[in-house]
Amino acid sequence: MALQLGPFLTSKTMKSLSFKLPSNANPSRGSPKSMSSNLGYGSTSKENVKKPSVPRREARVPVTHSMPPEKIEIFKSMEDWAEKNVLVHLKPVENCWQPQDFLPNAASDGFEEQVRELRERAKEIPDDNFVALVGSMITEEALPTYQTMLNTLDGVRDETASSPTPWAVWTRAWTAEENRHGDLLNKYLYLSGRVDMKRIERTIQYLIGAGMDPQTENSPYLFFIYTSFQERATSISHGNTGRLAKAHGDMKLAHICGTISSDEKRHEAAYTKIIEKLFDIDPDGTVLALANMMRKRITMPAHLMYDGCDHNIFSHYSAVVQRLGVYTAKDYADVLEFLVGRWKVENLTGLSAEGRRAQDYVCSLVPKIRRLEERASERAKETLTIPFSWISDRQVKL
Ligand SMILES: [Fe+2]
Ligand SMILES: [Fe+2]
């Protein structure tokens, strides 16, 4: 998946983009209201207990298992459909590319020469492009968290780690496909010699340790909306990173990014198809879920990123990708516009009064986000430069 983003916006920009509205989660299941706590990190009442040193962060009381239990049956009844319509978006392993297809072959005589060539090409790529690439790689490398997320979902989780249901088969095979993304980018970045691998590896360890908080409440409705959004966003960001590599003359890196981007697009097709089917079966429940996720805003899976020194590394990285045009607030609006059209949300009929309100909200959201984004980008003209640990503390403009 991964990547990317729910975005992209600097903390300053995020403040000005105040379209984050209250969640409509069921209050009886716990308030989603933000509160200052630390989810087991930083100082707590058990001050002296040794804990991983990660920064304090805003946390909320999690809402869990918000999908009514009877809806689990919907996913059971979709299994034949999923077998025929979702699993077709997986590629047979034998037809899949592998990281080795794009990397110097350590078992060949030409290995040193191939590495030298890779490093020569990498010299032409600016530091800020490396920051974007490293952020993508770290996000991909937090894959254990995403598989965990999928296996928290009611009605579709893999109950045994080898369950034969199509939902479980998808989750495992999707994870196996995704696993190649972080692997390839990691090896490329290591060989490039342009980055501080130890500090990147430390960031990955912190991130996997921290997890993620997409506020999807164990609901496959909410999480498959999230993954539809994320797969498309990731495809866009890898594609744009590839275009930057091409502009700096590294056609091999451009090919790597383009290849990963097209995997993400295939995953997007599967997840958007699931939501399309849910709109057929349960239009009311699905449009309410879509409005729910959009009110919360789709956050990047790597939003709990920390590198051991910069407490705002995630917003700094987001600012760099926004400035480079790798993933921007405009992309966020574009993804939403695409999905609303793809699922024909405007044409839904037979909705309850609450469902119609959700439909109106979702359909009016894109122009609102675009207006807010334009105003925010007019204001956010400051040119801060900060050091990034990932590139040996060299300075990069935000
Ligand atoms: Fe993906
Ligand atoms: Fe990926």
Q: What is the mean pLDDT of residues 13-39?
A: 30
**Ligand 2 mean position to 101 CA, how many Å?**
17
C-alpha span between 93 and 133 (Å, rounded): 26
Which of 200, 197, 230, 198 is CA-nearest to residue 212? 230
How close is the Cα of 59 to the center of ligand 1, in Å? 26
Confidence of residue 383 (pLDDT cuts 50, 70, 90): confident
Distant-in-sequence, close-in-space partners of 261: CB < 8 Å, separation ≥ 6: 234, 235, 236, 238, 239, 242
pLDDT grade, residue 98 (50/70/90)?
A: very high
pLDDT at 13 over 50: no
Ligand 1 center from residue 155 Cα (angstroms)? 21
If one counts every other C-beta atom within 10 angstroms of the C-beta of residue 234, the result is: 31
pTM for the predicted model, two decimal places: 0.86
For residue 128, the tally of other CB atoms under 10 A from its CB is 21
- Contact present, 228 and 271 (Cβ < 8 Å): yes
* C-alpha to C-alpha distance for 136 and 139, rounded to whole angstroms: 5
In this prediction, residue 258 carries a pLDDT of: 98
How far apart are the CA of 119 and the centre of ligand 2, in A? 24
Tell me, what's the pLDDT at 57? Answer: 55
Q: From the CA of 110, how far away is ligand 1's center (Å)?
A: 32
- CA distances, 149 to each of 129, 204, 301 (Å): 29, 17, 10
Residue whose tokens read 């239009």 = 283
* Stretch among 43-47, 119-123, 179-183 having the lowest mean pLDDT: 43-47
Supply the pLDDT for residue 58.
57
Ligand closest to CA 143: 2
Distance 52 CA to ligand 2 centre (A): 27
Residue 307: closest CA among 221, 206, 160, 396: 206
HSE-up (13 A, CA, CB side) for residue 28: 3
Q: Is the pLDDT of residue 18 over 70?
A: no
CA distances from 367 to 157, 164, 333, 343, 374 (A): 36, 43, 8, 18, 11
Between 47 and 286, the more confident residue is 286
Q: Which carries the bigger pLDDT value, residue 327 or residue 53? A: 327
Indicate whether 6 pLDDT > 80.
no
For residue range 319-367, list pLDDT tens digits in order: 999 999 999 999 999 999 999 999 999 999 999 999 999 999 999 999 9
Residue 380's pLDDT band, with cuts at 50, 70 and 90, is: low
Tell me the per-residue pLDDT of 238-264, one tens digit each, with 9 for 90 and over: 999 999 999 999 999 999 999 999 999
CA of 92 to the centre of ligand 2 (A): 17
Structure tokens at 249: 């003359």
C-beta of residue 223 within 8 angstroms of C-beta of residue 153: yes
Average pLDDT, the chain: 87
Question: How many angstroms separate the CA atoms of 370 and 372, rounded?
Answer: 5
> How far apart are alpha carbons 250 and 229 in whole angstroms?
29
Decide: 22 and 291 in contact? Cβ < 8 Å.
Answer: no
- Residue positions annotated with a catalytic role: 97, 140, 178, 181, 231, 234, 263-264, 267
From the CA of 67, how far away is ligand 1's center (Å)? 25
Mean pLDDT across 137-164: 98
* β 34-35/59-60 pair status: antiparallel
pLDDT digits (tens, 9 = 90+) for 217-244: 999 999 999 999 999 999 999 999 999 9
Strands (E) in 17-101, as ranges, are: 34-35, 59-60
